[in-house]
Structure 1
Amino acid sequence: MANVNPNTKGLKTYALQKKINTKERVDEALKKMYKENMRINFNSVSKVAKVSKAFLYKELEYRNKIESFRKEQEGIKSLNHYKKSVSETSKDVIIEALKNKISELNQKIRELELENKQLKETRKVELGNIYDKI
């Protein structure tokens, strides 16, 4: 026997409160991301606000906000892109310095091998002289 007059008042208030909390989280995430010059798109907002992308697309208010932020940021070069390009040039400089260091060390190795060979030869000659004296 089904309840003819179900009490859904509590469920409705809970759903309404949940929606309000979700909207507050999205608003806070958008403010934070805008202040910190983070890339604003549906994916990043959903991760920061911990909401689904479907919610962001469904709510026209947030959909329009995110799309306008995205258009606004199209002209601005991303800070991460700048860091990557600086990082790439830094890598190139470091690689070149290490290559120079390697070539210097290889030259030093050749010199030491030559010196070692000469010392072995002189030792052979000296041992031969000592053997002849005995």
Structure 2
Amino acid sequence: MSNFNRKEQLKQLHAKRKQETKLKVDKAVKSLKSKKENINFNSVSKEAGISKTTLYKYPEYKNMINLYRKQQRDSYIQGETDRSQEVWNDYLKNQHEKLKRRE
């Protein structure tokens, strides 16, 4: 019984739980990306089955989620910009054709 070390056992248990949580978060993010759903603290928390507090508590999770949120936001903005440019080009082309017909 003298070989039992409570501190060491708790350290190992904590390390195991932390690794399991990391795997859950990674799996949740991959799943959300493949479904093309928004990646934010609420969605990752629900998908992974862990609390939002845990996601905010550990910088590696917080930074990862913030990075994916920024990427999604930037991609959305770029898509909107491209679409706006197409609409503008179509408008100008139509105006040009109208002017040609008047001549």
TM-score range, shorter chain: 0.5 to 0.7
Opposite residue 38 of structure 1, the aligned amino acid is: E
Give the ranges of 4+ consecutive aligned residues of structure 1 lying more than 3 Å apart after TM superposition.
none
Which structure carries more relative contact order (alpha carbon 8 Å, separation 6+)? 2
Q: 1:46-104 deviations in whole A, cap 9, x for unaligned?
A: 01001111111121122111112112222539xxxxxxxxxxxxxxxxxxxxxxxxxxx
Q: 1:13-56 deviations in whole A, cap 9, x for unaligned?
A: 11110111011100111111111111100011001001111111
Give the match for residue 49 of structure 1: 48
Superposed CA RMSD: 2.0
Partners of 1:59 and 1:11 in 2: CA distance: 19
* Unaligned ranges ≥5, structure 1: 1-5, 78-134
Give the match for residue 86 of structure 2: none
Give the match for residue 125 of structure 1: none
Name the % identity.
42
Q: Larger Rg: 1 or 2?
A: 1
* Unaligned ranges ≥5, structure 2: 78-103
- Secondary structure at the counterpart of residue 47 of structure 2: helix
